[in-house]
Chain A
């Protein structure tokens, strides 16, 4: 079974999206990147983000990740912000009762996008 299926697929993404986004908006280290983004649309993007991190079906390429975050890199997005996002992701999954082993796998998937997200 794939990681995405083990986590519970689309239903798991839906359960996680509110919790994760609420954490991000309250995290003073990173919330400035998210203010000013249309929240209703942002929710759809958070879903896309989680689906990707859960190893689910998505059609984003590394190039898309570069382009999608380039304006944030210009505003100073760096490794510490990336780590904060991964931390919030892990805390969300923990809250939903996901095992540490699966959380580590999700963090590893997110890690594969680091260079593209940070435009390195």
Chain B
């Protein structure tokens, strides 16, 4: 049992209880979303006390050194004093350049940040609708290739932030964005390994960035990209991906749809889920570097099958697109 000091009050923290649970169950207002270290809604900063390393796993070394932590992953080891971060210092303004539809419910949003954003292809950041309403979106752009930031945003029925992006944002509008985080990135040290990328829906966004990053760095091993969609109309960036596959013999693009249609035939899409296609095409995943992005159910199922199929846990990088909160 230990004591947590927050906003002028002391809270009792039970053994093995997370900082987030400790504060929220005792009535403190701390934002949260995924509760599993992904969405960064629960970002806090330690002013005093030791910060467990697990609580800083998803943060940049720079932020970790400043005492930032994720409350949902923080099991205090002793007394701590924590604060909510001042988002002003963590955000940057950007101008909307373009918003273009990619398919019926996904649009590409291009931004120009006021100061250059330090990021790697495949990372994600928070886009702010209002100071207290933000969501995570993955970068589809590549810093060394594109001179804008690009996101692929799917409209969620009744969604506050995705609805605002689709209905309200116009070129010239000013928005706030957070820092780029996440470890779904290309590692140039692994240039000979097989890369396997599996995404559903707008989960293609980070994968599109990672693939282009890998190709621009002369990745020599095979690269397999599976994009799954319920219907053929949900597939997007097909011409671009087919052109890349034609140009780079080591890059294989496999579109997959759950339901057959005239379009799916015309585009020779596989009629099965992306994960089923992956399992049919690969006998063992030993030595593979794997990236999984999009629907959380797909990500979890794929992680299990691909791990049991021989990939090392540390080689499976995943961004489940969990609801980000706070709502």
Contacts and interface: CB of A to CB of B under 8 A. Distances in A.
Do A and B pair up? The answer is yes
Interface of A: 17-18, 21-22, 25-26, 38-41, 43-44, 64, 67-68
B313 A21 contact: yes
A30 B318 CA distance: 26
B54 to A, nearest CB: 7
B64 to A, nearest CB: 17
* Interface range, B side: 10 to 19
Given A17-B313, A40-B318, 19 more contacts: A18-B307, A18-B312, A18-B313, A21-B307, A22-B307, A22-B308, A25-B308, A26-B308, A38-B36, A39-B300, A39-B303, A39-B304, A39-B313, A40-B303, A41-B36, A44-B54, A64-B15, A67-B15, A68-B16
Nearest to A26: B308
Contacts of B312: 18
A40 B320 CA distance: 12
A64 B16 contact: yes
18 contacts: A18-B307, A18-B312, A18-B313, A21-B307, A25-B304, A25-B307, A25-B308, A26-B308, A39-B300, A39-B307, A40-B303, A40-B318, A41-B37, A43-B313, A44-B54, A64-B16, A67-B15, A67-B16
Interface in B10-39: 15-16, 36-37
Contacts of B318: 40
Contacts of A22: 307-308
Contacts of B15: 64, 67
A40 B313 CA distance: 8
B141 to A, nearest CB: 26
Interface of chain A: mostly helix, strand, loop or mixed: helix
Chain A to chain B: the 9 pairs with minimum beta-carbon distance, closest first: A43-B313, A18-B312, A39-B303, A18-B313, A25-B308, A38-B36, A22-B308, A26-B308, A39-B304
A64 B312 CA distance: 29
A61 B307 CA distance: 31
A55 to B, nearest CB: 22
Nearest to B303: A39
A39 B312 CA distance: 12
A64 B37 CA distance: 23
A26 B318 CA distance: 22
Contacts of A25: 304, 307-308
Contacts of A26: 308
A21 B312 CA distance: 10
A117 B77 CA distance: 23
A65 to B, nearest CB: 11
Residue among B303, B308, B312, B313 with most chain A CB within 10 A: B313
Contacts of B16: 64, 67-68
